[in-house]
Structure formats: structure tokens, C-alpha cells
């Protein structure tokens, strides 16, 4: 999930430290970086020495392991066939049915069963459904509070340079002063957008309006100090499971870490972290804007995690999310079993089969265009037999790159 900018920083640090070896470990078939580039994939295509680790040590149940192997090979039909009756077609009720399946488990089973959703919308639906069920069954306490929380909008540097990426009601956070834009450090609300003029009208906490010109941001650098959020309502109750969406280092409240709501009253919210430490958050505590329900996780959050059993939700109508990368991450998080809820199994299979989910890098785009130009230029030209094809430099000659095996 590392983009070009972060990868370049890692390589530069390795060179400054004069390291003898730099190893990158990952899976280019899984979800890549939100930001620009896919260096992990590009460096392999360029011929870097590569060791393939293909033994599945995670899955312990035979059918699940076979499904994961099939998904790794891009055989979506075989993967769904191996899952068999554990693929449940629920139409428009997939999120609710997945929540009901998790709620029907015993408390002990719930602790070892994760819920994975392909994207943010489905995750929100599952979280709301689980909370509704727990509340109706009396498993959540009487204390409750309505919050307005900040939900991060994942934009690349380039996307942030266009007015169409912003919408009225969004929140722009500025970590460092932007002299050229007239922006001080702080929070701004998006009032209006004008894509035709590439202008965004912002309003600060004092009511002052500022004309923001995103196109004047440099392609590199500003994204680290500018972040875009959506403001959405969220109700929390005593006993709710939450996750942090930002970090407060001093109190040990870490981004993506989970916590439990201990008590909610009219003046504060008491939470217990994953380490068992309790904190009391006042009504104006900034971390009350930086949380979300954590009954379900989406695929980007789940990559790298493992659980014994899982319930997953995917929807064939989510065009950008119904792809092979999301499918692979979703079904390979489990050890002992998976139940997959979908709107329509056949449609999901077709959608995932035709969408690998792999974005094209700038290098690949240039190569594609160069090849197209060369093909056009060569049309009608008589070949010259004296011009032998030039041999690539040794470091780019894939034929001399020898695979090597590793083991325990």
C-alpha cells in the first residue's frame, strides 16, 4: 500500500544509511496505495530479484484454503465454488443479513468472528445494523450521545488539485500555513465549489470566507498538510465498540485501534482502550470527532489483519470496489471459515472477473503511449535487415534474473 513518495523516502533513507540490502515484502495482487504510484509492482516488472512465497499458512480449513488459492490466481469462479453454501445471495439486504448472522453468534463466538465490508458505505450499513440489534436486545446501556464525526475523504495529491473533488459541507484541515492560498493553520468548511473556475469557497471558524484555488497547489508536498473530511452524524451508546480515526499520542489513543464505550452521560464519554486504560472525554474533546463504530471493517482497514472466522459483505453494484484486489483481501483474512453475503453471486463473479482493480502507473502509461507511437510510425516502413535489435542492458535483461527459493 506504499505510494511513490513514501517509497522514495524509504529508498533514500536506505542509501543514506548505506545499507547492504533493502527488502520489500508484500502482495501486488492485494490493495495498493491510495496515493499515486505502485512501486512494489513496478520494481518487480523491472526485473528486481524476487522470491515468491506461495505457501498458505493462514487458512486451516480445507475449503477456505482452496478458495484463497483460487482467488490468488484470479480464478473467481473457482473461489466462489469452493466457498459453496457459504456464499449467501441476499439482494439489497446483504448488510442487514450479515449483521444478523454476527448477532446470532454467542458472545464468545463474536469475539473471534470479524465482519469485513468491501467499502465504506457497506461498512456503515453493517455497523448501524449491528448497533440497532444490540440496542434492541438490551446489550447496550441507556446512556447515549449524538456526535458529528469527521470521516476522511481519501484523495490523491492530484485529486486535491481539482475543485470537483470538493463538495459543500466538507471540512478542510490545514496543518501548516499556506501563504500562497492565504490559509492559516486550522479548520475550514467548504461553502461552495466552482469547477469551471477551479475555485472553492472556504469559511473559517470566525465566519470569514476565503477563495481557495486548489489548482495552484504544487503536485508534491501540500497533501501532507491538507486533509479533507466529510462531517456525518453518529450516535454512540454505553457498550458500543469503536475505533479511532486519528491519533492522540499523549493519551495512547491510536488511529485504527479499537476501544469500548464504558459510560455516556450529559457531560462526558468514558472509554476503555484496547490496553484496558480508561479515559474520560469531555464534550469538547477533539477525539469525539475522531471515532467510528468498529463492528465492521472495510477491506483497506482489514489488509494485514487475521481472524479465526469471518463474515464478509460485497455488492456487485459497487463498480470500483467489486474487483479482484478487494475480493482477495476480503477472503484471505480468515483461518477457519468465511460466510460471504452478496447481492447476487453471479453478478458479483462477473463484476470481479472483469475488474482486476490494478491501477496503471505513470511509467506504464508512458510505455503504452510510446509503443502506440512506435507502432504508428512503423506502419508502411520497409524493414532494414542490417538493423539488428539492440540487447537490453544486463540489469534489465529478465532472462538472467534467477529465481531463488527460501524456506524454514
CATH number of the domain at 248, please.
Answer: 3.40.50.300
pTM, full prediction = 0.76
Q: Are 282 and 222 in a shared domain?
A: no
b/e 57-66 (16+ beta carbons within 10 angstroms → b): eebeeebbbb
Cell of 233: 452524524
User: Could you tell me where the DSSP H helices lie in 46-174?
Assistant: 62-72, 76-83, 94-103, 107-111, 120-136
- At 264 the three-state DSSP class reads strand
Decide: 338 and 64 in contact? Cβ < 8 Å. yes
Give a yes or no: residue 365 inside a domain: no
- At 394 the three-state DSSP class reads helix
Q: Are 216 and 154 in a shared domain?
A: yes
Decide: 313 and 117 in contact? Cβ < 8 Å. yes
Q: Are 340 and 258 in a shared domain?
A: yes
User: What local confidence, expressed as pLDDT, does residue 253 receive?
Assistant: 94
Alpha-carbon gap, residue 105 to 88, rounded angstroms: 17
Q: For helices 120-136 and 94-103, what crossing angle results, to 10°? A: 40
User: What local confidence, expressed as pLDDT, does residue 68 receive?
Assistant: 87
Residue ending a domain, choose from 200, 230, 260: 230
How many beta carbons lie within 10 A of that of residue 198, not counting itself?
16
Give a yes or no: residue 379 inside a domain: no
Using only C-alpha atoms, the chain has a radius of gyration, in whole angstroms, of 25
Residue ending a domain, choose from 196, 230, 264: 230
User: What local confidence, expressed as pLDDT, does residue 408 receive?
Assistant: 39
List the strands of the sheet with 113-117, edge to edge.
87-89, 334-342, 307-314, 113-117, 296-298
Give a yes or no: residue 368 inside a domain: no
How many beta carbons lie within 10 A of that of residue 34, not counting itself?
12
Alpha-carbon gap, residue 272 to 280, rounded angstroms: 9
Q: For helices 345-354 and 76-83, what crossing angle results, to 10°? A: 150
Which helix (H) or strand (E) element contains residue 341? strand 334-342
Q: Are 205 and 317 in a shared domain?
A: no
- At 183 the three-state DSSP class reads strand
Q: Which domain holds residue 184?
A: 150-230
Q: Are 223 and 285 in a shared domain?
A: no
User: What local confidence, expressed as pLDDT, does residue 165 receive?
Assistant: 93
Q: Are 126 and 250 in a shared domain?
A: yes
User: What local confidence, expressed as pLDDT, does residue 402 receive?
Assistant: 47
Euclidean distance between the first and the last CA atom of the chain, given in angstroms as a whole number? 27
Torsion of CA 372, 373, 375, 380, to 10 degrees: 150
Alpha-carbon gap, residue 202 to 194, rounded angstroms: 12
Residue ending a domain, choose from 230, 253, 281: 230
Give a yes or no: residue 266 inside a domain: yes
* CA distance to 71, 113, 127, per residue, from 261 (Å): 37, 20, 15
C-alpha closest to that of 263 among 234, 237, 287: 237
- Pairing assessment for the beta strands 291-293 and 278-282 based on DSSP bridges: unpaired
Q: Are 130 and 257 in a shared domain?
A: yes
Give a yes or no: residue 120 inside a domain: yes
Give a yes or no: residue 55 inside a domain: no
Decide: 150 and 289 in contact? Cβ < 8 Å. yes
Per-residue pLDDT of the chain (408 residues; tens, 9 = 90+): 788 888 889 989 999 999 988 888 888 777 777 677 788 888 888 888 888 887 777 788 888 889 888 888 888 889 899 988 999 999 889 999 999 999 999 999 999 898 998 888 899 999 999 999 999 999 999 999 999 999 988 787 788 889 999 999 999 999 888 887 888 899 999 999 999 999 999 999 899 999 999 988 876 655 568 889 999 999 999 999 999 999 999 999 998 899 999 999 989 999 999 999 999 999 999 999 999 999 998 876 666 667 788 899 989 888 777 888 888 888 888 888 889 999 998 998 888 888 776 767 777 778 888 888 888 888 867 666 666 666 655 555 554 444 444 443
Give a yes or no: residue 56 inside a domain: no
Task: Give the number of domains in the chain.
Answer: 3
Give a yes or no: residue 209 inside a domain: yes
How many beta carbons lie within 10 A of that of residue 319, not counting itself?
10
Q: Are 193 and 261 in a shared domain?
A: no
Q: Are 157 and 247 in a shared domain?
A: no
- Vertex 246, ends 180 and 262: CA angle to 5°? 150
Q: Are 74 and 128 in a shared domain?
A: yes
User: Could you tell me where the DSSP H helices lie in 193-335?
Assistant: 299-302, 324-331
- At 227 the three-state DSSP class reads strand
CA 375 to the chain's CA centroid? 38
Q: Residue 160 is part of a domain; what is its CATH number? A: 2.30.30
Q: Are 113 and 251 in a shared domain?
A: yes
Q: Are 321 and 250 in a shared domain?
A: yes
Amino acid at each position: 500500500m506504499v505510494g511513490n513518495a513514501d517509497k522514495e523516502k524509504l529508498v533514500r533513507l536506505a542509501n543514506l544509511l548505506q545499507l547492504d540490502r533493502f527488502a520489500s515484502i508484500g502482495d501486488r495482487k492485494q490493495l495498493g496505495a491510495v496515493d499515486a504510484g505502485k512501486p512494489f509492482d513496478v520494481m518487480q516488472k523491472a526485473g528486481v530479484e524476487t522470491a515468491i512465497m506461495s505457501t498458505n499458512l493462514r487458512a486451516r480449513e480445507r475449503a477456505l484454503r482452496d478458495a484463497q488459492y483460487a482467488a490468488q490466481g484470479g480464478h473467481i469462479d473457482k473461489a466462489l465454488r469452493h466457498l459453496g453454501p457459504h456464499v449467501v445471495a441476499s439482494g439489497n439486504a446483504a448488510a442487514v443479513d450479515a449483521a444478523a448472522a454476527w448477532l446470532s453468534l454467542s458472545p464468545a463466538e463474536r469475539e473471534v468472528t470479524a465482519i469485513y465490508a468491501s467499502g465504506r458505505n457497506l461498512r456503515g450499513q453493517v455497523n448501524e445494523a449491528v448497533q440497532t440489534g444490540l440496542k434492541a436486545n438490551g446489550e447496550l446501556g441507556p446512556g447515549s450521545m449524538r456526535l458529528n464525526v469527521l470521516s476522511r475523504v481519501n484523495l490523491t495529491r492530484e485529486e486535491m488539485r481539482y475543485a470537483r473533488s470538493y463538495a459543500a459541507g466538507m471540512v478542510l484541515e490545514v496543518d501548516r500555513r499556506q501563504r500562497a492560498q492565504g490559509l492559516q493553520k486550522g479548520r475550514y468548511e467548504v461553502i461552495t465549489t466552482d469547477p469551471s473556475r477551479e475555485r472553492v469557497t472556504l469559511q473559517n471558524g470566525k465566519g470569514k470566507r476565503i477563495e481557495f484555488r486548489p489548482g495552484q497547489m504544487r503536485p508534491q508536498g501540500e497533501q501532507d498538510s491538507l486533509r479533507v473530511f466529510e462531517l456525518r452524524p453518529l450516535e454512540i451508546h454505553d457498550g458500543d465498540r469503536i475505533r479511532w480515526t486519528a491519533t492522540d499520542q499523549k493519551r495512547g489513543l491510536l488511529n485504527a485501534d479499537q476501544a469500548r464505550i464504558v459510560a455516556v452521560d450529559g457531560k462526558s464519554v468514558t472509554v476503555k482502550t484496547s490496553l484496558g486504560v480508561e479515559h474520560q472525554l469531555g464534550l469538547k474533546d477533539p477525539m469525539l470527532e475522531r471515532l467510528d463504530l468498529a463492528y465492521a471493517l472495510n477491506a483497506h482497514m482489514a489488509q494485514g489483519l487475521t481472524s479465526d472466522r469471518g463474515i464478509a459483505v460485497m455488492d456487485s453494484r459497487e463498480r470500483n470496489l467489486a474487483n479482484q484486489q478487494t475480493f482477495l483481501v476480503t477472503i484471505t483474512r480468515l483461518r477457519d471459515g468465511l460466510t460471504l453475503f452478496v447481492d447476487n453471486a453471479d453478478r458479483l463473479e462477473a463484476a470481479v472477473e472483469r475488474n482486476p482493480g490494478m491501477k496503471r502507473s505513470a511509467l506504464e502509461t508512458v510505455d503504452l503511449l510510446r509503443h502506440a507511437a512506435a507502432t504508428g510510425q512503423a506502419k508502411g516502413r520497409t524493414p532494414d535487415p542490417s538493423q539488428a535489435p539492440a540487447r537490453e542492458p544486463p540489469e534489465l535483461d529478465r532472462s538472467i534474473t534467477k529465481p531463488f527459493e527460501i524456506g524454514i
